[in-house]
Structure 1
Amino acid sequence: MHSSIASFQWLLYIFTVISSLQVSATRFNIPRLSPTRGTILQNPEILSATISEDFQTFYYNQTLDHFNYRPESYSTFQQRYVINFKYWGGGAGADANAPIFVYLGAEGPLDGDISIIGFLTDNAARFNALLVYIEHRYYGKSIPFGSREEALKNASTLGYFNSAQAVTDYAEILLYIKEKFNARHSPVIVIGGSYGGMLATWFRLKYPHVALGALASSAPILYFDDITPRNGYYSIVTRDFREASETCYETIMKSWAEIEKVASKPDGLSILSKKFRTCKPLKDSYELEDYLELVYADAAQYNQPPKYPVNMLCGGIDGAALGTDNDILSKIFAGVVAHEGNMSCYVNPPTIESETTVGWRWQTCSEMVIPIGTDNTTMFQPAPFNLSSFIDGCESLYGVSPRPHWVTAYYGGYVSYY
């Protein structure tokens, strides 16, 4: 499908929550920014997709560490990139200045993105553009140290896994491609969504001599260091629900206290498990509450025609009041079913910890410290971001502390005058 809607679906503001660290009684979610929609509940490994024969796969002998002269810095690994020559009118000849559109891979394998990112192919013919897709280091087949096991072994090998290295990877590959395919005069436009959009922005800032421009869609580059209000994202989700249905919004607001009320009973978790048809008995109320937050966020993220998920979910919640069993939690469950469909079970399904989950956990525990939280101005339970707990959790996992101010120091943030 080549409609503008289909082409830009991946450009939505996506904060897919996939993992949480637990530090004593404190809980918080690690946001994952993805250019393509996947299930937010089971987060399966992205499998290789069947793509057109127009796409050819290459590997670049990439430098492990671009910023040091230590002997190990000169180690290399094979980084994957894919090229579509179908529309290319560049190189020698009349169209020597035809552009190169570059999709910057983000926090996952490249396979799943190529076949569904329509923006590049939709616009390539008009500009006779060369299409290039580059995989992010440590994801997919672009793994240093010979294997994923070695690459993710400890903080020493993970230390080369960051956005600055990734952005420089892209610069090296693009300079190589321009030389290899006689495209020295072809302008480069880098493109990405969400985290990939952040990379596109930062690429343009750091390597303006390589990229003429960047299309950075839904790139939360200002969601660091409290430049953006911490509750900004969930405020937007709340607004979507309130605009869809005031009664739906009010029911969701009331449901959190009702969940805690039921959970406090001697057999409360069993009651909640049966009412929400959980895949496994609930261990605590947080499991259910986290699940519901994910469902509401997912509906808002993709609230577009023809289905309008928020309207579907609220229709389930409001419609439940027409039946005989119209208590608050029954309404909430009806909304879940309306959104998710009729499934054998909901909440805490079997999960597969994908390389995206593992990789993004490291990225957030190093430099991508995005302080997303909620307060009493949203329809969600107040859950402020706690930096101290976040640091404690990351130190227990990796033995290193996050750098919450690194992104704004390196790429830019507040304007300071002295």
Structure 2
Amino acid sequence: MLIKYYPFILLFNPCVSGGVDLFCVKNGFKYLNDEINLEPHLEEFITQTKWLKQKLDHFNTTDQRDWKMKYFKRLSYWRLNGPIYLFLGGESPVSPRWAETGIMYELAKETNGALYVAEHRYYGESRPLNGTDAEALKYLSARQALADNAYLLKYLKRFSIYKNSKVVVVGGSYSGNLAAWMKLLYPDLIDAAIASSGPVLAKMDFYEYLEKVSDNYEQYGTKKCLGKIEKIFKRYDKLMQSAKGIQLLKEEENICEKCNLSALENQQIFFGVKVGEFMSISQYGTAEQIKDHCKILLNGSIYQHNESGIPPEESTRNNCTCYDFDETIKGYYSKENDWIISWLYQTCTEFGYFQTTSSDEHPFTNNMPLNFYIRMCHKLFGPDFDEERVNRGVAAVNDLYGALSPNVTNVVFSNGDLDPWSTLSILKDLSNNAPAIVIPGSSHCRDLLSNRDNDIVELKEARKAIKNLVKKWIGAEC
């Protein structure tokens, strides 16, 4: 059995689970949905699945094509004049569990609100057009998605029961951007917004991501941890320079013999996978987990640093598997995971977010350069998707939404200070009515979940502060 890796280290990182032929994606919104789905079911499942006809292109009056958008509805706690809460879907299929647990659910329960969860166009079952090429995806953009959500809210507001209802939008990761941008573009429709871990600054060469990962391991890891990481990656780099070194690396890492590690792109994919382990722990973990990871690194051999701490031959060969880093981007995809391509399209046309190694302020060597990602755009979507086109898209997004200075009020921007994505987010108050909450020791979007017993005090206090702000802005203070 071969385990294929693909170079998609954007808002997600590749991983392997249990030696099974599995492409495990940990992007921001997919991870969030997985987390919310793990929350215990405390009540009977009573969320309804609904569909709404949407325009294919909201900005072309001559194009009358339409499609159906999936959303979820729950009115268990709603009372007349209560607010509408809308959770904005992001870059993966959306879960109805956002109407059953988490900070939005708690707000609705405390303020007699109606709960809605919307799926983003081109993700999950909400697909305006079939296909994963550039022509099929041309109507995929944040602006079109924002218009979809605006139309959903206007549709709801047509019902007399919602005539006096305030509207609160909630989102995390990319959908955290959408929450803030909804308030920007539709200020008369939106009364308040929670923008959790939203990287509102589009950036092509996102070298700051790995700088933050490095900072986390320096600050929270053991004393010699950063030096050990540097030795590991420099050794990888050196081994890649010779046939003998490549063969040794294949044996140590259980890489398939047929895999051509002499090819530059395959080497870059290898480095992406190895760096992804540190990215994942930094983005989703805790300070304690970073320290534990460092202990494993320091106690192991120079090459032993998979997540379990088990040498590669023990963790994979017992399952008769080997790892293959040959780059075959399009061959992997099926209808079950075409949303991955949708997100890559958005990074290539709007956001960049390419987590490069172009900075010198990290220990991971420079083996994931910008052109690695540009080639990905080119191969997936055609020769027109070059660096210039990515740059144009990034500039247009920052110009439209205001980058780190959006002109918004009644929006709370929250970030965990461990989260590498926070380096593209708003970390200081824009105004009294657009505050920033930075949560010490917390990671990506953790504030959107409900309190857990092992949550740190700072995280619980942040959730309380966020809820109090929303209640104040919609006039629902106790």
**Is TM-score (shorter-chain normalized) higher than 0.5?**
yes
Structure 2 counterpart of 1:356, from 339, 347, 353: 339
| Bigger mean CA deviation after superposition, 232-241 or 371-380 | 371-380
Equivalent-residue separation in structure 2 for 1:112 and 1:251 (angstroms):
43
Kindly indicate whether the alpha-carbon contact (under 8 Å) linking 2:47 and 2:99 is maintained by their aligned counterparts in 1. no
2:152 to 173, 179, 184: 173
- Give the aligned CA root-mean-square deviation in angstroms: 3.5
> What letter corresponds to residue 172 of structure 2 in structure 1?
G
1:219 maps to a residue whose letter is: G
2:303 to 329, 349, 356: 329
**What runs of 5+ residues in structure 2 fail to find an aligned partner?**
1-9, 16-24, 262-266, 406-478
Alignment TM-score, normalising by the size of structure 2: 0.66
Q: 1:334 to 1:397 in 2, by over 3 A?
A: closer
Letter aligned with residue 313 of structure 1: H
Q: Tell me which moved more, 81-90 or 375-384.
A: 375-384
* Corresponding position: 1:137 with 2:147: no
Change (3 A) 1:347 1:99: farther
Cα distance in structure 1, aligned partners of 2:309 and 2:324: 14
Q: Which among 273, 292, 298 is matched to residue 274 of structure 2?
A: 292
Superposition TM-score, scaled by structure 1 size = 0.75
CA distance in 2, matches of 1:389, 1:329: 24
Counterpart of 2:137 in structure 1 is: 158
**Are 2:1 and 1:17 equivalent residues in the alignment?**
no
Q: Which amino acid aligns with 1:270?
A: Q
- Alpha-carbon separation, structure 2, partners of 1:268 and 1:175: 62
Once residues 273 and 226 of structure 2 are traced to their aligned partners in structure 1, the CA distance between those partners, rounded to angstroms, is 17
Shift of 1:218: 0.6
- Counterpart of 1:84 in structure 2 is 74
1:319 aligns with 2:302: no
Q: What secondary structure, in the 3-state scheme, does the structure 2 residue paired with 1:138 have?
A: coil
Match of 1:128 among 94, 112, 116: 112
Deviation at 1:108, TM superposition (A): 1.0
Contact 1:58 1:81 in 2 (8 A): yes
**Aligned equivalents of 1:212, 1:280: Cα separation in 2:** 58
State whether structure 2 residue 349 is matched by structure 1 residue 366. Answer: yes
Change (3 A) 1:280 1:170: farther
Q: By how many angstroms is 1:194 displaced?
A: 0.7
Aligned pair in 2 of structure 1 residues 315, 181: CA closer, same or farther (>3 Å)?
farther
> How many Å separate the matches in 2 of 1:68 and 1:258?
55
> 1: distance between equivalents of 2:105 and 2:311?
34
In structure 2, do the counterparts of structure 1 residues 68 and 192 end up closer, same or farther at CA, with 3 Å as the change threshold? Answer: same
Q: 1:392 to 1:111 in 2, by over 3 A?
A: same
Partners of 2:50 and 2:246 in 1: CA distance = 52
Q: Per the alignment, do residues 276 and 52 of structure 1 end up closer, same or farther by CA in structure 2, a change over 3 Å counting?
A: farther
Secondary structure in 1 aligned to 2:243? coil
Q: Provide, for residues 295-346 of structure 1, a one-character-per-residue CA deviation record: whole Å limited to 9, x for no partner.
A: 01011112228xx4322321211222xxxxx4x224x35875499x955467
Deviation at 1:382, TM superposition (A): 2.6
Give the structure 2 partner of residue 187 of structure 1.
166
Kindly provide the amino acid, as one letter, of the partner of residue 62 in structure 1.
Q
CA contact (8 A) 1:55 1:83 kept: yes
Q: Share of identical aligned residues, percent?
A: 24
- Secondary structure, counterpart of 1:377 in structure 2: coil
**Whole-angstrom distance in 2 between the partners of 1:390 and 1:319:** 34
* Count of residue pairs the alignment pairs up: 357
For the pair 1:413 / 2:403, whether they are aligned, the reply is yes
2:214 matched to which residue of 1?
A: 238
Q: 1:60 aligns with which of 52, 57, 61?
A: 52
Structure 1 residue identity aligned to 2:281: A
Q: Identify the range of structure 1 (134-143 vs 269-278) with the bigger mean alpha-carbon deviation.
A: 269-278
Instruction: Report which stretch shifted further, 50-59 or 205-214.
Output: 50-59
Structure 1 residues 291 and 398: CA distance shift in structure 2, 3 A: closer
**8 A contact 1:279–1:346 mirrored in 2:** yes
The equivalent of 1:43 in structure 2 is none
Give the unaligned 5+ runs of structure 1.
1-13, 20-29, 40-45, 91-95, 321-325
CA distance in structure 2 between the aligned counterparts of 1:280 and 1:184, rounded to whole angstroms? 66
